Amino acid sequence: MSTKLDSLHWCTNCVSMSTRPRIGFDKRGWCNACVWTETKKSMSWSSRQTELETLLDKHRRDDGYFDCLCPVSGGKDGSYVAYNLKHKYGMNPLALTSRPPLTLDLGDQNLTNYIRSGYDHMHITANENAMRQLNKIGFIELGFPYYGWLLTVKTIPLRVALQFNIPLLFWGEEGDVEYGGSTEFKNKPCFDIRFTLKVYFDSGYDTVLKKSGLSEKELFWFILPSQEEVDNVNIRMAKFGYYEAWDPYRNYIVAKENCGLQEREEAGSGTFTNFAQNDQALYSLHCYMMYLKFGFGRATQDVGIEIRRGAMTREQGVNLVKLFDGHFPEEFIDIYLEYYQMERKEFDMVIDKYANKELFEKVDGYWKPKFTIDWH
């Protein structure tokens, strides 16, 4: 990625950075996410609510079988969606988890708490050797530390839906729309395989799978079914966030009160919040890589959410970004080296490879930003 320092700018409402992929700004300098939040406040959601009820009624069963599938991790968003499907709309969801690598104790406990709150649940662990290899290739070739697991987040639900004949899948929000990328799909409730390949897999799908040298048998849980297979069963891949005004903090409260969600005692790595992304260690490395590639990290994203929901001023947000963004997760370094089977020098070479040299310079062995976030 090439970025000129003099072309950098930040959203004038939140702190989203112009380097974010697929971002756009209006005449006021507001980013897509802030514009969309403003739009949502004046929208009439009744028509979308009717769309949701029609979709659910079409798939609702009276024979006791599962009428929808809902991926969950034990975190706030999947728990919120599953809770509403079951208790607000009277559906019978099958909850499904693709086990991440390097799980954290709190994440395991939250998933256990969620299951014990009263849900049918399936937990699939893809071949761990294949997962490790794909994650390592993703880290080296794409600067994406858990690319193999990312694949399974999308592929496993589809495979299970096909195998068990559950033609309705619900994910949470469309991240691009809600957090500052393209709003191209803000009026589309469902997505397809092509969208998954383009947006979620970031054009690395074929590269990583081919470089792995793994057999089709070993890659079963990592390979997307074809669009034809999906169409033959008429699977609908829906975004719950299309049907209502998505609010991550509200999701947290609902999950905490009804699904046993617990927070960290301290803030998460690279941010000031403690109630999200507590399931695996590689997420912290992912956020650091994002920071080096684009100049913003997890704190920037969390600040944007807080500003847009009215819980924080932009000035407060800028201070938090300056304090937390760019934290290297040194607390996990030994775990990373063992997992990737790498020496520290080799690991650091990968890190250095993806640092945006137009945004950062190395000082005393650490990558430091050449830019300063815009206060106004």
DSSP, res 110: H
CA–CA distance, 125 with 111 (Å, rounded to integer): 14
Question: How far apart are the two ends of the chain, measured CA to CA in Å?
Answer: 26
3-state helix, strand, coil in the chain (%, to 5): 50, 10, 40
Q: Are 143 and 211 in contact (CB under 8 A)?
A: no
pLDDT of 374 above 80: no
Residue 253 CB partners (closer than 8 Å, separation 6+) = none
Residue 128 structure tokens: 């761990």
CA–CA distance, 304 with 284 (Å, rounded to integer): 18
Check the CA dihedral 239-242-243-246 and report its sign. positive
Q: Are 16 and 180 in contact (CB under 8 A)?
A: yes
3-state secondary structure 148-216: HHHHHHHHHHHHHHHHHCCCEEEECCCHHHHHCCCCCCCCCCECCHHHHHHHHCCCCHHHHHHHHCCCC
Share of the chain above pLDDT 90, in %: 82
Q: Going by DSSP bridges, is the β-strand pair 360-363/366-369 parallel, antiparallel, or unpaired?
A: antiparallel
Residue 176: pLDDT band (50, 70, 90) is confident
DSSP, res 267: P
Residue 50: pLDDT band (50, 70, 90) is very high
| Burial category of 70 from C-beta neighbours within 10 Å (exposed 0-12, middle 13-18, buried 19 and up) | buried
Mean pLDDT lowest for which of 180-184, 274-278, 357-361? 180-184
Backbone angles phi, psi at 121, to 5 degrees: -145, 140
Q: Output the CA–CA distances (angstroms, integers) from residue 76 to 83, 97, 259, 365, in the order listed.
A: 10, 14, 9, 37
pLDDT at 11: 96
Give, for 366, the enclosing helix (H) or strand (E). strand 366-369
CA–CA distance, 280 with 286 (Å, rounded to integer): 11
pLDDT of 376 above 80: no
pLDDT, mean over the chain: 93
Q: What angle do CA 290, 374, 271 make, to 5 degrees?
A: 40
Q: Output the CA–CA distances (angstroms, integers) from residue 142 to 3, 146, 289, 331, in the order listed.
A: 18, 10, 10, 23
- For the segment 159-185, the average pLDDT, to the nearest whole number, is 91
User: pLDDT per residue over 203-230, tens digit each?
Assistant: 788 889 999 999 999 999 999 888 888 8
Share of the chain above pLDDT 70, in %: 97
DSSP, res 247: -
pLDDT at 343: 98
Give, for 361, the enclosing helix (H) or strand (E). strand 360-363
pLDDT at 234: 86
pLDDT at 227: 81
In terms of pTM, does the model score above 0.85?
yes
User: pLDDT per residue over 106-156, tens digit each?
Assistant: 999 999 999 999 999 999 999 999 999 999 999 999 999 999 999 999 999
Task: Go through the domains of the chain in sequence order and give each one's CATH number.
Answer: 46-242 (3.40.50)
Strand, helix or coil at 221? helix
Residue 1: pLDDT band (50, 70, 90) is very low
Query: Amino acid letter at 140?
Result: I
